[in-house]
Amino acid sequence: MAETDLRESKSKTIVHIKKRNGTIVNFEQSKISNAIYKALVAAGKPDHKLAELLASKLVNKIINSEYLGSIHKDHLLSVEDVQDMVESILIEEGLAETAKAYILYRHERRKLRETKMKILNKRDLDEVDKSLDVNSLRVLASRYLLRDNNGEIVEGPKQLFERVAILVAISDVIHDPRVFDLKGNYSQNLSEAELYYNKLDDFDSKLKIGSYYLNKYHFESLIRSYIDEAKSGKMKVSFKELLRLIAEGRMTDHGNKILEYYNLMVLNEFLPNTPTLMNAGARLGQLSACFVLDMPDDMYSIMKSSTDAAMIFKSGGGVGINYSDLRPEGDIVASTSGVASGPTSFMQIIDSITDVVKQGGKRRGANMGILESWHPDIEKFITMKTKPGMYENFNISVGIWSDFWQSLVNKEDHKYSLKNPRTKATMKNIDSHQLMELISLSAWKSAEPGVIFFDNINKYNPLIEAKGGPLRATNPCGEQSLYPCESCNLGSINLSKFVKRKADGMYEFDWPKYEQSIRTATRFLDNVIDVNKYPVEEIDVNTKLTRRIGLGIMGIADLLFMLRIPYDSKEGYEFMNKLAETLSYFSMDESVVIAKSRGAFPLFEKTEYKNGRIPLSGYYEIPKDLHSFDWDSLIGKIKNYGIRNSWTTTIAPTGTLSMISDVSNGVEPIFALVFEKRVTVGRFFYTNKIFENILKEHGLYTDEILLKISNNYGSVRGISEIPEWIQKLFVTAIDIHWTDHIMAQAVWQKWISNAIAKTINMPGDVTVEDVKCAYLLAHEFGLKGVTIYRDGSRNEQVLHITGNDREKRFKVTPSEYLHDFIKANIHEPYVLDQVKPIFKDYDENKQSTKTNAQLNVPFESDNIQSNTSLINTKSELYANSISRTENDKETCPVCKNYLIITEGCNMCIECGFSSCGSG
C-alpha cells in the first residue's frame, strides 16, 4: 500500500500552466522563486536560497494537496492561482512584510501589463511584449511599428523583428549553393524576373521560408536581389525555378537563419540601425543610416546633389557633404560675369530641403557640413553657427590635414595658406594658431564646429588608389567616413547581455558568446547591403563596390558595472581595448568566411588589402605581443580569399537603440545614477537598474539617499553614506575628467576600422585653452574626429539634473592611467607644452591621492559647475529641466514635446525621435 501511495505521489507533477491569455505553457518553478526573491529584495531581505526553498515548498504543497485533482483537471494551474498561493505561503512562513511586498509587486505588474497593452493597442501581450520595458515599447510604438492609413498600430515588436529577420535572410536564400555559383557564367532571362514586380500583391504572404511567410515587400526584395546577382552571371537557375524551390519547401532550412537573426534582436543582443528597423519588409525598403554626397563646383551637380539629399531624407537617412570644392564667396563666375556666393549659401539649400522633407514620414533629416581648413571661407564657416537659429539642421566640422597640423606644431613658422579650390592659387596667408584659436573659441561658445582629422582617417585607408583619392566626408554624426554616393548600414551589439554568473554570484564576460554574436551580426549587416532598396542609383552602385558595414556596441557602462570594473581605470581601459580588438577581429574574420562563398567586395583586387594593408591603427601601433589575436594569420587569409566588406566596424551614437535596449549609449559612461522627476502628483526617482539593485542588496535604498545623489548631479562621489567601493565603481560622465573621455575614445579607436561617435563633455568653467588642448590630444591619440560639448554652450541646453539643493561634492582630475599614457606616448613638444597646465592640480595632489588616483577619487571643491553629458540610460529620459525659454524650444515633429541636443543630434526624451539616423 505504501509503495502505491509513493508511486501516486511521484506521478503528481505540475506539468503545464495556463497563462492569462489562455495559452498553455510548460510550468517553470524558477519563475516562482524569482518572483519570491524580488519580494524579498523589496522587503530588504535578499536571499536566493530562501526564495528557492519557499518555491519548492509551494510546489510540494500543490502536489500533495487535493488542489490538482479537485479543482484543475490534467494538472492545469493558472498564473493567478499560483500567485495567490505564493501570498499564502509567505504569510504561513511568517514573512508578512515580504507578502505585502509581493502583493504590491502583483499590483504593479498588473498596472504594467495594462500600460503595455494600451501602448501597443493590444488586448493580450506576447512573450516579446513582456520582455521589453514600457519605455522601449513607447519608442517602438512612436517610430518603428507599422501603422495603417488611420494611424493605428498594426504590428507588435515580435512582428517587427520577424519582418526584419525575414528580409535579411533573403540574401541567404539567394546565395544558397543550389541556386548560386560564385564562379559561374550563367545567362538568365532578367525580363522574366522583372515581370514579377507587377505581381507583388499577388504574392503577398503566399510563399514561406520555413514557417515564415514573405510579404509583398520581402518578395520585391527577392526579385531585386536575384536580378542583381543574375546580371553578373552567378544565378544557376531562372527566377521561376527559384520560386518553385521555395514553394516546394526546398529552402525551408533557411527558416533557421531567420530564427537566428530574430533571436539576435529579440534577446536584445544586437539591433540594426533605425532605418532597418523602420523599413525592412515595409514599403520604403531603405535600410541604411549613413550617406555621403558629392558637391562639385557646377550648378547642375549642386542641384543634383540637393535632389539626391531630398530622396535620402525621405527614405530615412542622413547626409554628409564636403563643401570644400565650391569656389569661395566673391570669386568670379564666368558664365554670368557675376561673383560666387560661397559654400555657406549652398548649405542653406540643403538646410531648407531638410526642413520640408521628413525622413520616412517620421522624422526630419540630419546633415554634416564639412569645410577643409585651407578654404578661403573657413573663418566664416567656423563662426556661422554661433548665432542661434542658423543652420539648425547641420552639424558642422572643420576638415584638417597634415599640412595644417605641421604648421600648428612648427616652432618657427605658423603661416598657413588659404587656397582657391577653383584655381589652386593662394588667396591669403593666415596664422594657423589663430585659426585653431577661432575653432576652439567657437566650440567653447556653441559646441560647434567639430574637427575631423582627415590625415588620421586616411592613414591606413586601403582604398585610396582604388577610389582615386582619400576619404573627405562623413555621415552626420561623424563616425562613418564615406566616399561620394556611398552609404553604410550600422548595427550595435549590446554588451550587457554577454555576462554569465559565477558560483560566487559575481559576473564574468562570456567571450565565446560575444564571438558568435559578432559573426552573426556581421553576416546580418552584409545581407542588408543585398536586400536594401537604395534611394539613388549611384548610391546602389557605389555601396556595393565597397560593401562597407559598421558593426558597433552599446551598453559598455552597464557591462562594467556588472563586472565591477571602473570605467576610467587601468583595468577598464585594458578591458575596453580587448572588447574593441575582439569586435574587429571576428567581424573581419567572418567577412573573409563570407567572401569565400559569395566573393570579396568588387574593388578588392585594386586595393591595398592585396598587399596586406588593413584599416586598423591598433595592428600597426600596438606592439604585437600585446595583441589578443593572430592578426598576421588573418591578413594572410584576406590576401588569399579576399574580404567581403572593406570596413567592418563603427561605433554609432545608438541613441534610440539604447532606449529600446534599456542600456547606456555607445561607448559612453552613464549620464547620472539617479534622476528626480517632480510632477503634479508627487516626486519620483529614476535610477540605473544595476545601481538600484546594489543599493537594495546592501540596505542603502532610501528616498533620502536618492535625493542626495540627485542633488549631487546624479553622482555618488563624496557622499559619506555610500561605501567607497561603490563610489569608485559607479562612475558617471560627470565623474570622469574630459581628458579621460578622450582617452576612452582613443582606446576604442585603435581597433575600430571606421570611427566613433562620442561627445567630449566638459564642465562649464573650462577655458578656450582647454578646448584647444582637447583637439590637440585627440589628434595625437589618433582619433578620426572629435566633438566638444561644454556645459552651457548651446541655447538648447542638454538635460540638467533637477533638484533645488544641488551641490557638487567632488572635484574631477585626470586618471593616473591617462597621465602615464601621455608621458609614454605623446612626444610632440608643442602639444606637451599646451597640455601641461591641465595636469597642474593632478601633479600637486598626486602624493596625497597616490592610492586612489588611478580610480579618480574626488577632492573637495567649491564652485564647480555642472558637467552635463549626453543621455545614456533610460533613467535619464525623465529629467525635465531645459534652460532654453519655452518660446525658443524646438518641438518634436512626432509628439510635439520639446527637443534636447545630444551627440550633436536633436532628440525627444518622450518618444525617442532623433534627427540623426545612426542610432
Active-site residues, by number, are 475, 477, 479
Q: 606, 296, 620, 318: which is closest to 456 by C-alpha? A: 620
581-613 as b/e: b if 16+ CB within 10 A: bbbbbbbbbbbbbbbeebbbbebbeebbbeeeb
Q: 10, 402, 519, 33: which is closest to 511 by C-alpha? A: 519
Q: What residues contact residue 631 under an 8 Å CB cut-off, 6+ apart?
A: 585, 614, 619, 624
Please tell me whether residue 759 adopts helix, strand or coil conformation.
strand
The grid coordinates listed for 595 are 567572401
Q: 285, 286, 303, 281: which is closest to 294 by C-alpha? A: 303
Count of Cβ atoms closer than 10 Å to residue 376 Cβ: 23
Q: Which helix (H) or strand (E) holds 138?
A: helix 134-139
Q: What residues contact residue 549 under an 8 Å CB cut-off, 6+ apart?
A: 488, 489, 490, 491, 522, 525, 526, 528, 529, 587, 645, 647, 648
The grid coordinates listed for 196 are 514579377
Q: Note the residue count of the chain.
A: 919
Parallel, antiparallel or unpaired: strands 24-26 and 290-293: unpaired
- The CB-side HSE value for 642 (13 A sphere, CA atoms) comes to 18
H-only helix segments in 316-367: 343-356
Q: Classify the C-alpha dihedral 162-163-164-166 as positive or negative.
A: positive
Q: What residues contact residue 830 under an 8 Å CB cut-off, 6+ apart?
A: 408, 409, 411, 776
Q: 273, 657, 278: which is closest to 496 by C-alpha? A: 657
- The CB-side HSE value for 103 (13 A sphere, CA atoms) comes to 11
∠ CA 222-224-230, nearest 5°, is 100
Q: Which helix (H) or strand (E) holds 217?
A: helix 216-231
Q: Check whether the bond before 376 is cis (ω within 30° of 0).
A: no
- Rounded distance between C-alpha atoms, residue 400 and residue 416, angstroms: 12
Query: Residue 759 in contact with residue 869, Cβ under 8 Å?
Result: yes
Q: What residues contact residue 111 under an 8 Å CB cut-off, 6+ apart?
A: none
Q: Which residues does residue 359 pair with via DSSP β-bridges, in sequence order?
A: 363
Query: Residue 783 in contact with residue 746, Cβ under 8 Å?
Result: yes
Count of Cβ atoms closer than 10 Å to residue 630 Cβ: 11
The DSSP output letter for 201 is G
Three-state SS across 238-299? CHHHHHHHHHCCCCHHHHHHHHHHHHHHHCCCEEECHHHHHHCCCCCCCCCCEEEECCCCCH
Burial class (CB in 10 A: 0-12, 13-18, 19+), 881: exposed
Query: Residue 186 in contact with residue 234, Cβ under 8 Å?
Result: yes
Tell me the chain's radius of gyration from C-alpha atoms. 29
Task: Write the Ramachandran bin of 329: left for phi over 0, alpha for psi from -120 to 50, otherwise beta.
Answer: beta
* DSSP output for 657-708: HHHHHTS--TTPPBS-SEEEEEETTEEEEEE-HHHHHHHHHTT---HHHHHH
